[in-house]
């Protein structure tokens, strides 16, 4: 047998699928599992830990573990934009070396980038507003302020 017959073929990953996974499930790091990152378990574990800790607070949306989730959420949106907007050659060089195929995307990544920009921008701005309100209230800066 020759060396080439023993080689295991490398799975070809889709740039469009990576962008959509980062957009939809980026808070859990699903896209990191998809592209084969070795530390993807850390991303997922952190998110799950924060969601478990949220259960120990009376108000789920106004507590530090929930507010810290803005970090993996934002990272997912940013990576969705990176996957969608980088050239196909960059994605193949980084994630598809040895697959024997080339990525040729069409409108899928463009639509993912547009959706990520609108939804991601809205979610991140809302998250930052919640963080500011939480910090201001915790520090007493809003004491005496009539809503």
* SS3 state of residue 42: helix
Average pLDDT of the chain? Answer: 91
Is residue 99 within 8 A of residue 14, CB to CB? The reply is no
Report the pLDDT value the prediction gives residue 29, as an integer from 0 to 100: 97
Residue with tokens 């957009």: 23
Q: What is the pTM of this model?
A: 0.86
**What is the Cα–Cα distance from 6 to 67, expressed in whole angstroms?**
49
Asked whether 23 and 30 are in contact (CB, 8 A), the reply is: no
Q: Summarize pLDDT for 72-128 with one digit per residue, the tens.
A: 999 999 999 999 999 999 999 999 888 888 888 889 999 999 999 999 999 999 999
Q: How open is the CA angle 97-103-12, to the nearest 5 degrees?
A: 50
Question: Which residue blocks in 55-87 are alpha helix, DSSP H?
Answer: 64-68, 70-85
CA distance 145 to 147: 6
pLDDT confidence of residue 7: 59
Q: How far apart are CA 94 and CA 108, in angstroms?
A: 19
| Mean per-residue pLDDT, 120-144 | 92
Question: By the 8 A CB rule, do 65 and 54 touch?
Answer: yes
């Amino acid at each position: 047998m020759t060396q080439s017959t023993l080689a295991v073929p490398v799975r070809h990953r889709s740039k469009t699928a990576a962008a959509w996974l980062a957009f939809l499930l980026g808070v859990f790091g699903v896209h990191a599992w998809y592209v084969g990152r070795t530390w993807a378990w850390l991303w997922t574990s952190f998110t799950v830990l924060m969601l478990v800790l949220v259960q120990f607070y009376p108000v789920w949306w106004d507590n530090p573990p929930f507010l810290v989730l803005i970090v993996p959420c934002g990272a997912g949106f940013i990576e969705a934009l990176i996957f969608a907007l980088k050239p196909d050659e960059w994605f193949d060089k980084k994630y598809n070396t040895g697959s024997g195929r080339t990525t040729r995307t069409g409108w899928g990544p463009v639509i993912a980038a547009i959706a990520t920009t609108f939804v991601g921008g809205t979610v991140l701005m809302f998250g930052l507003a919640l963080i500011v309100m939480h910090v201001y209230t915790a520090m007493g800066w809003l004491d005496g302020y009539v809503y």
